[in-house]
Amino acid sequence: MDQTQDAGKPTTQHIFIDKESPAVWRALNGLGLKAREAADEAGISRALTELLNVRISQINGCAYCLNMHVADALKKGETTQRLAVLSAWRDTALFTGKERAALALAESITTLPDVHTREREDAYARQHLNMAEYSAVSWLVITMNAFNRVSITSQHPVRREAGEQATSQEKSQEESQEESREKPAQD
């Protein structure tokens, strides 16, 4: 953090906890790599992994992770149509049985619904995923939730891509957001 808190007045600077505690961040990245290895060994495609990352990030509202994983999903061959309807995947026929099971499990682990809903989603997932796939998807979901929480807590910014121009309305919104960040909170 660049600025210290001054006599009880909150600061506008964000603490990037990944930078502040790099050993913990490296450990989380190591867990993420192990989860990906388990997914690879279980036959979970990288495309499905990215689809799960996007859905989890949608649920958690992590803009930074959504920005990253939508791009990664497209690189892995995911379609814009399926990404566009991902939050309503249950209402389409665009996803396979395995994908639907993985998405149901991801949503259940992410939202931790009541026990009856968890049991129903778990049973559905087990109908379509073998034990290795179930375990791998679970670990992917658990680690993606952790990454979301790091980015949300740190308020990692989403930056415009090189060459992308902002509209005048977007520029005005960005300027007002910058101004509100620069002003200290009033008592």
Residue 163 within a domain? no
Residue 51 within a domain? yes
Domain with 61, as residue range(s), is 22-157
- Measured distance CA(51)–CA(74) in Å, rounded: 10
- Measured distance CA(140)–CA(135) in Å, rounded: 9
Residue 15 within a domain? no
- Measured distance CA(146)–CA(167) in Å, rounded: 34
CATH number at residue 129: 1.20.1290.10
Residue 162 within a domain? no
Q: What is the pTM of this model?
A: 0.82
Residue 59 within a domain? yes
19 close to 49: Cβ distance less than 8 angstroms: no
* Nearest of 152, 174, 161 to residue 70 by alpha carbon: 161
Q: How many domains does the chain fold into?
A: 1
Residue 9 within a domain? no
pLDDT of the chain along its 187 residues, tens only? 444 455 566 667 889 999 999 999 999 999 999 999 999 999 999 999 999 999 999 999 999 999 999 999 999 999 999 999 999 999 999 999 999 999 999 999 999 999 999 999 999 999 999 999 999 999 999 999 999 999 999 999 999 887 766 666 666 666 655 554 444 444 3
- Looking at residue 133, what is its pLDDT? 98
| H/E run at residue 133 | helix 131-154
